[in-house]
Amino acid sequence: MDTAVNKITKLEEKFREAYMEYYYHFHKNPEKSYEEKETSAYVAEKLQKLPMDEVKTNIGGYGVVGVLKGGKPGPCVGLRADMDALSVLEATGVDFASCNPGVMHACGHDAHTAMLLGVAHVLCEIKDEVPGTVKFVFQPSEEMTPRGGAPGMIEDGVLENPRVDVMLASHVWPTFETGMIGAQDGIVSAASDHLKIKVTGKSAHASMPHEGVDAIVAGAAVVGGLQTIVARNIDPKETAVITIGLINGGTRYNVLPEECFLEGTVRSFNKNVTAQMPVLIQRVVDGVSAGYGTTGEVDYESGYPSVQNNPAVAKICRSAIAEVVGEDGVLPVQGVPAAGEDFSFFSLAAPSVFAWLGCRPKDIPLEQMPPLHNAKFLPDPEALQIGVRYMATAAMKVLSEYIPEKK
């Protein structure tokens, strides 16, 4: 007897050449956040060739949604893939490398988009057996913190008509070997906020610093002071990250600059810690300003909250993982990385699961695998095959087994 997972596996194999062609196309033609015009059009074109009941475009920007109404009654599941690329100069050397210099799919969103199109092919093939409705949600601008692309799609009604009962997503994850998938309960990403600081002093000749107030020295003190927040103001049982990734000050080597600009990110997991951060950062900047004779302005933008995996849905997803790759492929509970992810907005609006999809070839040690956002990052192609089978299986199991919460 042909089981559901066997049928999905055979269909994944049938459509593998097609969705891998999509993957190569997306990788060769990356587009940054808010610029996914051609990617969006390509996705819409592929969906319109399938027996979708509806294809919607320009949802929350360049978002695309395909709606598939199954042949049996049931709830509605949304499957999400992000489409945008990064400002990274590719260094993979592959023959399908980016044709857009300085822009690269270094975070795997090309794989996510291709996999979801693969799932669309699979589920359309068994449309009469689908017990409910599937929304294929292709989202723009995931990388554009603090706003992201998910809020715009939600505002444009992506979760309505019909109402989405469950949202699912996966992300290629080079920390884990291909064949491993994680769908654990609770928080699975950090809250991700955006920090800007302007330090203002007084310009003077570099040989006479006593006649001015050095904004760079004060800025450096701010950077050092910020690191004490996690070490001395956060409960040791909790954790957080404050990283300054950009410093800009001065116009000439022998001039004391009047201004120094700092920009960075703040990551945290506990909502109480997240709420403390703006106050603690302002206190450091005020203290440095008082000590160095500068003034300091803090622009703190709250960004993505943490992704929350629903335990009931996660249990179903782990069952799907076991069916696709075996019990050994179900990733044990892991420490949560401090990565930000705007799927969090979906997880706050509907019961959701965000899965980590291992994509490191088994013959490559962890220390040799390029990480996400690296100019040499490429996922193992086998991971895409597993990802299509997992997402199609998880969607079918959620539609069959999940009991929507009463509102």
| Catalytic, out of 31, 84, 258, 342 | 84
For tokens 């109404």, name the residue.
Answer: 69
Burial 337-353 (b: 16+ CB within 10 A, else e): ebbbbbbbbbbebbbbb
Q: Which residues contact 243 (CB under 8 A, 6 or more apart)?
A: 264, 265, 267
Please indicate whether residue 84 is annotated as part of the active site.
yes
Burial 365-378 (b: 16+ CB within 10 A, else e): eeeebbebebeebb
Give the separation between CA 353 and CA 360, rounded to whole angstroms: 22
Please indicate whether residue 142 is annotated as part of the active site.
yes
Q: Is the dihedral of CA 256, 262, 33, 180 positive or negative?
A: positive
**Are β-strands 191-200 and 295-304 bridged in parallel, bridged antiparallel, or unpaired?**
antiparallel
Q: Which residues contact 97 (CB under 8 A, 6 or more apart)?
A: 27, 28, 90
Give the separation between CA 150 and CA 60, rounded to whole angstroms: 8
| Catalytic, out of 12, 35, 82, 142 | 142
Catalytic machinery residues:
84, 142
